[in-house]
Amino acid sequence: MIDQLSIGVIYVEDDDDVRIGAVQALKLAGIDVLAFSSAERAAPSIRVDMPFVVVSDVRLGGKSGLEFLSSLRRTDPELPVILVTAHGDISMAVAAMRSGAYDFIEKPCSSEQLVTVVRRAAEKRRLTLEVRALRSELADQRGIEKTLIGRSPQIQKVRRLISTLAAASVDVMIYGETGTGKDVVANCLHNHSARRSAHYVAVNCGGLPESLVESELFGHEVGAFTGAIRQRIGKLEYANGGTLFLDEIESMPLSVQVKLLRALQERTIERVGSNKPIPFDCRIVAASKADLLQLSERKLFRSDLYYRLGVAFIELPPLRERREDITLLFEHFTLEAARRFECDAPIADEKLVSRLLSYAWPGNVRELRNVADRFVLGVLNDTMIGTPELGAADHSLPRQLETVERAIVEDALRRKKGDINAAATLLSVPKQTLYDKIKRLSIDVEAIRGHAG
C-alpha cells in the first residue's frame, strides 16, 4: 500500500476552450488525462477498479453531469466524481453532493484549485483500489494460507513446515515471542492433520496454579484431595485421538514435568488418586517463548523432556522481521473487527500505513490485531501505536530500512505480476535502478511471477 499507484483523470466538458485549458493544467501537474466532450463518449471508458477519478461539467449537451454521476455510482459506488457547476448555482452543488459526488467546483475555477481537488480525490481512489486488492487477495486464500496470513519468505517457510508436519504424527515444539501466533500454528497443525475430527485441547501452563496443573493434565478421582467431589477427566485423556497444545511449557513446574515425561514415554496416564493406567493417543504440540535447551542447561527445564518433545521444531519470526506482511495482516484484522463490531471497515490512509510499517511491534501480531480493533472502533490515535523503531540492539536502522524497501519493491512486482518495467513505472524509478535494488535485496522475481500465474 505504500507505493504510489498512478491515478489519472477522465475529464468531461463540452466547451472546447475550457476542456483544452483544463487538460493542459492537469498534464502540467503530472496527471494523466482522458478528455471527452460528452458523457456518452466517456461512458465506454468507465469500468470497475479503473485507476481514474472523474471530473464532469454538470450542464452538458446530452446526458447531464448529474445523470452521468448516477450511472457512475451504479458502476462503481466508490469512484470519486467531481462535478463542475456554474458560478452561484448552489442548489445544483447541493444536489450533486446529495447524489454522491466526491466534491464540486464552481466555474470559473483556477488551475490550482482544479489540481488540488483532483489530487485529493486521486489519493482517495488510490487507497480504495489498494484496499480492494488486499481484500481480494485475502478472499482468494485457501487452506493454511487463509489461517496463517503473509507473503514473506519467513511465513512461507512456516506454512511449508506445517504442511509437512501436519501429515506426520510427531510431537512438535513451537518457538516464538509473545504474540507471534504460536496458538494459531498449533491449531493449523491439528486442523490439517488426520486428527482434525478429534479434540484440539489447549492448556496455558503459565496460567494454572501449581497445585492444579497435575489435576488439569491427568485428571483426578473423587476424594483424591480436599474439594475433589467429582471425577475429572484430564486434558491428556480428553485429547485422546486429537492434539494437546501446551502453551508456555517453560513455566510448567519441574515436579509435573517428571510425570508428563513418563506419560509421554508410556502413552498412559494415571488420574490423581488412582493407580489404574489409562492409555491415550494424542499429538503433543508445545510452545515456548524461551529457549528450552538453554533452560535445561541451567536446570530450569528437564533436558529429558526437552528431547522427548523436540522431535520437530517450528520457529515463528517476530512481526518486525516480516514487515511485508503488515499491510495484509492489518487489512485482515480490520475486516475481522468490522464483522465482529457490525460496522463498515474503514480504509487506512498513507500516514497510518507508514506508521504501521515503521513501528517495532513488541507485541507482534497480537498487538497489530488490537490496533486494528481500535482503528475500526474509531478510537485509534498515534500514541496507541507507540514510537517507530529506530534501531533496537539487534535490529539496526539500515536493517529496518532494507526490510521496508524490500516490502515495497516486492509489493510493486507482485501488483505487476513480475513485470519489472511496469513495476519501475509504478515506483517512479528508472528500470536500471529497480534492477539494482532487486539484486541488492536478493528478491526472487521468478517466484513472484510463478505465484502471480
Which residue spans of the chain are classified as CATH 3.40.50.300? 144-317
Contacts with 84 (C-beta within 8 Å, 6 or more apart), sequence order: 13, 55, 56, 57, 58, 65, 104, 105, 106, 107, 109
At residue 153, the 3 state secondary structure works out as helix
Position 198, amino acid: A
Cα–Cα distance between 390 and 395 in angstroms, integer?
Answer: 9
Cα–Cα distance between 165 and 172 in angstroms, integer?
Answer: 8
pLDDT at 451: 62
Q: How many helices (H) and strands (E) does the chain have?
A: 20, 14
Q: 8-140 domain in CATH 3.40.50.2300?
A: yes
Mean pLDDT by 10 residues, the chain (453 residues): 70 93 94 94 91 93 91 93 80 80 88 93 90 82 86 92 90 95 95 93 86 87 86 93 95 90 93 92 95 92 93 94 92 93 89 86 94 92 59 49 77 83 85 84 79 59
Longest dimension (CA), the chain: 98
Cα–Cα distance between 52 and 46 in angstroms, integer?
Answer: 9
Cα–Cα distance between 286 and 129 in angstroms, integer?
Answer: 41
340 class by beta-carbon count within 10 Å (0-12 exposed, 13-18 middle, 19+ buried): exposed
Q: What is the DSSP string of 319-374?
A: GGG-GGGHHHHHHHHHHHHHHHHTSPPP---HHHHHHHHHB--TTHHHHHHHHHHH
pLDDT at 384: 64
pLDDT at 1: 40
> What are the b/e assignments for 283-315, b being 16+ CB within 10 Å?
bbbbbbbeebeebbeeeebbeebbebbeebebe
Instruction: Give the homologous superfamily in CATH for domain 144-317.
Output: P-loop containing nucleotide triphosphate hydrolases (3.40.50.300)
Is residue 367 within 8 A of residue 361, CB to CB? The reply is yes
Which residue spans of the chain are classified as CATH 3.40.50.2300? 8-140
